[in-house]
Structure 1
Amino acid sequence: MKRTVSVFMAISLIGILVFGGCEKQEKEVKDSTKEIVVAINSETGGLDPAGMIALTYLAYSVSALDELLTFDENGEIEYRAAESYEVNEESTVWTFHLRKDAVWSDGTPVTSKDFSNTIARALKPESGSGYANYLFPIKNAEAVYNGEADIESLGVDTPDDDTLTFTLEKPCVYFLDLLRLPVYTPSCSAYALDASDGWDKSPETSVANGPFYLDEYVPEQYFVLKKNTRYWNADEIKLDKITYRFFADQQSMANAYETGEVDVATGLQSSVMELYEGKDDLYITDTIATRYIYPNLNVKPLDDVRVRKALNLAIDREELCKIVGDDTEPTVNFIARYMKDRQTGEYFVDGAKKPFEENVEEARRLLAEAGYPDGKGFPELTYHYPTLEMDSDTAQVIQEQLKKNLNIDIKLNAQELQVNYTERRAGRFDLCRMNWTADFADPYTYLSMLLSNSTYNCSGIRDVEYDRLVEQSDTETDPVKRAQLMHEAEQLAVGEKFYIIPLYTMKSCNLIRPDIRGIAQIPATGALEYRHAYIAEEN
């Protein structure tokens, strides 16, 4: 199935002549291993759920870590690390009862303190967690993060090893959705002490409570997950091993699939759709994601709403998508095009008018009003983006369109994915490419990123009215009224203040060996999950 297996078989054949039966027996054991190799993007971030994470963690965690609970494709609760929960009438105290048979991959029990360990560390700003603000619904969490309260005052209690209680500042209608986020997953208290000491990428200390555990990690090359035989639901796990290999670009991933080096390659360039059309390998999925640009409000003239609006109105997204690929679809929304409204079953963004419409003439008028008629005197801005094919194509089209329509010059700066991520988080950019895939099935996963206190707000947005609308939606129990508040918030941020430049949403072009079954889509994000994958037996 894979090149590594084929090479081994060749070596074994030679070895039979020398070593006889023992070598043959070893070959049979190794050949029976059920494993897949998955191609993923370049290494970014760490594996500590309380630390600075990005794509690498997301690939690791879906197979190695169990959250308290999640939701299946029908919106029903699927219990994982927890076996039950209860909530008080005010929806401010949530108590979860952990599985008593759950252990870490090293055999030690998974306890409530392992969950509070992640939370406490994530609330230390030096940990670098971009998800820390999703803990703020918990009593005193924001004050702890800001150094205004002690950790002892945090509304997280562990009365015994099997009980975890959250006391919230006020009711939070999407609290159960938050539980699938990194900062709510456990990290073993025996090893996970500091995000900077490397425990997360060392197999000796990076233990897991999910179906697989970290067996090997080679920076910038690959990491290996092996089946956790101590997992509470191990009988349902069919794979023995998953290897994730890092690739610098989409073409390299596609080539590796073609040559048999990998069995799964996700997020490939749209040209693959034509090459594999009609073949069982091709698997197209809708991603619950938005590709957009951050204008840094701390950089002039991007602090002027007229300039931000002009940039938005001057981009021809239809033309952009035709050039970038068939796997893209224009959007002027921040909330992902394919995110469903749970109440109506329709796409959420269809419940309100579009935030704005493109208009080159109006864009030119606004730029002139801001003091830059026909682009004269406009400073050269730099657009930072990752060295991925889709982002490179996008950058060139944006550069050409803004020159043609506004007569302004945009300098392009391609960066390695990790560098782009780090520089953006530090606010060192004029314009920066951003992509957000939903973390959970609620529009708040998008709207929260533009809040004044958001740890992902790296472009200097401070808007009291926007904060008020989003905060009001947090406690609104009437789904119709809540949806209206969230639509108003998006309209304010994207259609009036133009805090971002939305570009397009995407379909994910994936290649999967036809004999691999059981790969599922995570309902909340659209990403692929391999924990229940298996290799079909040949007839």
Structure 2
Amino acid sequence: MKKKRLAAGILCAALAAATVLSGCSTKKTSESNAGTAEGGAKTEGSNEPAVYKKLYGAEAATLNYLTSSSEVDYKIGANVIDTLVEYDNKGQIKPGLATEWTYDDATLTWTFKLRDAKWVDNTGKEVGAVTAQDFVDAMKYELTPEYESSNVQNLFGIIANAENYYNGLVYNGGADKDGKVWQPVEFSEVGVKAVDEHTLTYTLEKEVPYFLSSLAYVVYMPAYGPQLEELGKDFATAADKMYYNGAYYLEEFSPQEKHVMKKNLLNYDAALVYIDEIQEIYNAEYNTIGPEMVKRGEVDYAELSSDILDDWLSSEDTKNLISRERPKTSYSYFYCFNFNPQFDAQYEPENWKKAVNNENFRKALSSALNKSKEVSVLESATPDDFVINSITPPNFTFNAEGKDYTKVGDMANLTQTFDETKAKEYRDLAKKELQASGVTFPVKVLMPYNPSEVNWDKECQVVEQQMESLLGSDFIDIVVEAGPADGFLTEVRRNGKFAFMKCNWGADYADPETWTDPFYQKKGESGYELGYKYGNIAKAIEEGTPSADAALEYFTLVDQAKDLKVDINARYEAFAKAEASLVGHAFVIPYSISVSKYIANKLDVFEGQYAPFGVSNLRYKGQHLNDHFISMDEYKANRDANEK
């Protein structure tokens, strides 16, 4: 027993070191104001029910949180489905559906005790109890190939036999493209078990220092088992085709029209849910119409684009309506080069492929990107506050001594990449090398953007003007093109219809490994897996291009880092070396953390849940709807109070 307690303590220390915002205990028993609220919440300063109204411009492709890894898709799921653990507004871990947990290092098994909780339908009517089996059934659904879950990779190598079970269903005793044979495995061998109605266990494939923090992500959410079995692929295709156990239930889902979430009075934590109803109204022009609707009192939230911000700040009618988003390190923005272009012939994909595989070409563009100038589109006063030199944002994770991961090992050597002199030097070297390989100039650089994202078009224009001016329009021709507002991620990035594009990644758990997920590609006997990963740099290895050795170096370094499980400092040093290799060879250009948008909002953003990973930041639980828009002075006061 002594060994069990010691092992759990080591894991908790590792998790605490991984993020100063998280807390952990071997056995957590404190309750979080559990209880059932009677009646509804009220708007602050009013006797009316609290109804929060906002516009949205990008529609969810699915409600199925078990299969989608896109934030646009699981924003609703984050509010209607509770997780085993969650985070408070200061980033401290707290009980969710689990009231306590223990870990046994001998068997690599976590045990969770569940509270009494209920499932309701889209009218708020009770349909059943939340049990441990609901977590088991949800994972089985994710591990069923016909449901095509894009989250399933998050379970491989983590949950015992998850990958064996999944591939056993795919290949049924046959071999994959690498020649590896996958025999069928019974689901009973997968490391998830319902010991009884209120006891759930996860048995791990290996030591996972960050496992507890990963439970706040969609891949470990539950679903009502009988409904999953009944509906199969039809699960979560409409509001009445899923059940809810979270702070809200989804009353209405009318695509490209309206979403309505209502407070779940049967939720165990209903006393901490202060907004009765959330209405999201679709409008493709939400980013231009929203501010005007704020002034007319028709919505409670709008993003303010840079072209109207000065007018709002100078007007007595609007200056006190302006505040900002909560600063966060949960997202990193970076520019990706695409090594597997699938765009139209008019943009010369074959010419681009030759150019992008030249490291000096990539370094020319990397050195020519003036990050501060581009960030100024979103933040003119202090753009450098948001610029980053690594993919992992500062203050995200910390080693066992509390040292910021971005200052560990080779990461400490990553500095500002913008350098006009070096950009021209790399350009001249690249031009000479590329001419010898038959590249024609200027190289067309297709750079798409999502028109539903406020100011992204303006950012692209700044990049085009600044980089072409520095490197010469006879060297590159940046082609800025609007992509679709709906389905942009699938249509553009996942389908390889870009050459150079701003991308982002949100952390799923508290460990540096999460920042390798967009780029790392697993090696098989016949090569590296292609398709989903950002930029598909493994294509360089597959085709034996001049960048093959550098790509192989990065993948090898990630493999080595993944193998380090117990020594947190050594693990972080290894991941730092891998990330420095990725950036150093200019496979990707670090750009910025999330720039806190200027907004008009009736919510105090510092009341909501917070964590630099998972779904916590998407939740409305804990927030009050005020009877006025938060001013900048109020925003600063709320921020200062939260930091105490």
TM-score, normalised via structure 2 length: 0.70
Query: What is the deviation of 1:32?
Result: 3.3
> AA paired with 1:317?
K
Q: 1:477 aligns with which of 566, 573, 577?
A: 566
Q: Compute the displacement of 1:529 (Å).
A: 3.3
Give distance in 2, aligned partners of 1:130 and 1:410.
32
Paired position in structure 1 for 2:173 = none
**Cross-structure match for 1:370:** 433
- For 2:423 and 2:130, how far apart are their aligned partners in 1? 58
Aligned pair in 2 of structure 1 residues 346, 126: CA closer, same or farther (>3 Å)? farther
Residue of structure 2 in register with 1:141 after alignment: 162
Partner-residue secondary structure (3-state), 2:100: strand
After superposition, the CA RMSD in angstroms is 3.3
Match of 1:157 among 171, 181, 193: 193
Distance 2:100 2:53 in 1: 35
Matched, 1:386 2:440: no
Q: Is the 8 A contact 1:364 1:405 kept in 2?
A: no
On the 8 A contact 1:335/1:446 being kept in 2, the answer is yes
| 1:162-181 residue CA offsets vs partner (Å, 9 max, x unmatched) | 23222222101111111111
Query: Cα offset for 1:200?
Result: 1.7
- Quote the Cα distance in structure 2 between the aligned partners of 1:158 and 1:239: 34
2-structure distance, mates of 1:87, 1:45? 37
Contact 1:287 / 1:338 at 8 angstroms: preserved in 2?
A: no
Task: Say whether the 8 Å CA contact 1:44–1:53 is kept in structure 2.
Answer: no
Structure 2 residue aligned with 1:180: 216
Query: Which residue pairs with 2:339 in the alignment?
Result: 297
Match of 1:489 in 2: 578
Deviates more, 1:49-58 or 1:455-464: 455-464
Contact 1:139/1:154 (8 A) holds in 2: yes
- Confirm or deny: 8 A CA contact 2:609 2:622 kept in the other structure: no
Cα distance in 1 for residues equivalent to 2:145 and 2:364? 36
Tell me if the contact between 2:390 and 2:406 (Cα under 8 Å) persists in the aligned partners: yes
Question: Do 2:334 and 2:591's aligned partners in 1 also have CA atoms closer than 8 Å?
Answer: yes
What are structure 1's unaligned runs of at least 5 residues?
1-29
Query: Do 2:89 and 2:607's aligned partners in 1 also have CA atoms closer than 8 Å?
Result: no
C-alpha separation between the residues in 2 aligned to 1:396 and 1:272?
A: 18
CA gap 1:348/1:518 in 2 versus in 1, 3 angstroms = closer
Residue 461 (structure 2) aligns with: 396
8 Å contact from structure 1 (residues 239, 534) kept in 2: yes
Contact 1:46 1:54 in 2 (8 A): no
Asked if the contact 2:68/2:74 (under 8 Å) is kept, the reply is no
Q: Which residue of 1 aligns with 2:323?
A: 282
1:412 to 480, 486, 494: 480
1:29-428 equivalent positions in 2, closer than 5 A: 32-72=48-88, 76-90=92-106, 92-105=108-121, 106-124=126-144, 127-136=147-156, 137-146=158-167, 147=170, 148=182, 149-150=184-185, 152=187, 153-192=189-228, 197-248=233-284, 249-265=286-302, 268-270=304-306, 274=310, 275-276=312-313, 279=320, 281-288=322-329, 289-299=331-341, 300-301=353-354, 302-326=356-380, 329-337=386-394, 339-341=396-398, 348-351=405-408, 352-354=412-414, 357-358=417-418, 359-372=422-435, 376-377=440-441, 379-387=443-451, 388-406=453-471, 407-423=475-491, 424-428=493-497
* Matches of 1:324 and 1:77, distance apart in 2: 32
CA distance in 2, matches of 1:320, 1:176: 37
The 3 A distance-change label for structure 1 pair 403 and 296 is same
Q: Which moved more, 1:520-529 or 1:388-397?
A: 520-529
| TM-score of the pair, normalised by structure 1 | 0.83
Aligned residues: 507
Distance 1:472 1:167, change over 3 A: farther
The runs of 5 or more residues in structure 2 that have no matched partner are 1-45, 171-181, 342-352, 523-528, 539-550, 629-644
Distance 1:398 1:378 in 2: 16
After TM superposition, give the deviation of residue 499 of structure 1 in Å.
Answer: 2.3
Report what 1:457 is aligned to.
Answer: 533
CA 237–527 in structure 1, closer or farther in 2 if over 3 Å, else same: closer
Partner secondary structure for residue 250 of structure 2? strand
Query: 1-side partners of 2:298 and 2:627: how far apart?
Result: 20
Structure number with the higher strand fraction is: 1
Amino acid at match of 1:401: Q
Deviation at residue 84 of structure 1 after TM alignment: 1.6
Instruction: Provide the C-alpha distance between the structure 2 equivalents of 1:425 and 1:349, rounded to a whole number of angstroms.
Output: 28
- Deviation digits for residues 383-414 of structure 1 (CA, Å, limit 9, x no counterpart): 22211342212222222334333321122221
Distance 1:91 1:296 in 2: 42
Aligned residue number for residue 500 of structure 1: 588
Native 8 Å contact 1:426 1:458 kept in 2: no
Structure 1 residues 256, 141: CA separation in 2 closer, same or farther (over 3 Å shift)?
farther
Provide closer, same or farther for how the CA distance between residues 311 and 197 of structure 1 changes in structure 2, counting only shifts above 3 A. same
Higher relative contact order structure (alpha carbons within 8 Å, sequence separation ≥ 6): 2
CA pair 360-343 structure 1, distance change in 2 beyond 3 A: same
Structure 2 SS opposite 1:507: coil
Cα distance, 1:145 vs structure 2? 4.2
2:617 match: 527
| Cα distance change of structure 1 residues 400 and 491 upon mapping to structure 2, 3 Å threshold | same
In 2, Cα distance between equivalents of 1:198 and 1:401: 48
What is the CA distance between 1:218 and its match in structure 2? Answer: 1.3
Q: Deviations over 1:177-214 (max 9, x none)?
A: 11111111112223335998554252322211111100
Partners of 1:194 and 1:452 in 2: CA distance:
35
Q: Which residue of structure 2 lines up, in the alignment, with residue 8 of structure 1?
A: none
Q: CA deviation at 1:95?
A: 1.9
Say whether the 8 Å CA contact 2:294–2:302 is kept in structure 1.
yes
Instruction: State the 1:131 CA deviation.
Output: 2.9
**Quick one: distance in 2 between partners of 1:124 and 1:509?**
39
> In the alignment, is the contact (CA less than 8 A) between 1:65 and 1:210 conserved in 2?
yes
Q: Mean alpha-carbon deviation: is it higher for 81-90 or for 223-232?
A: 81-90
1:112 maps to a residue whose letter is A
User: What is the SS of the residue equivalent to 1:381?
Assistant: strand
Change beyond 3 A, Cα 1:128–1:370:
farther
Contact persistence 1:228–1:234 (CA under 8 A):
yes
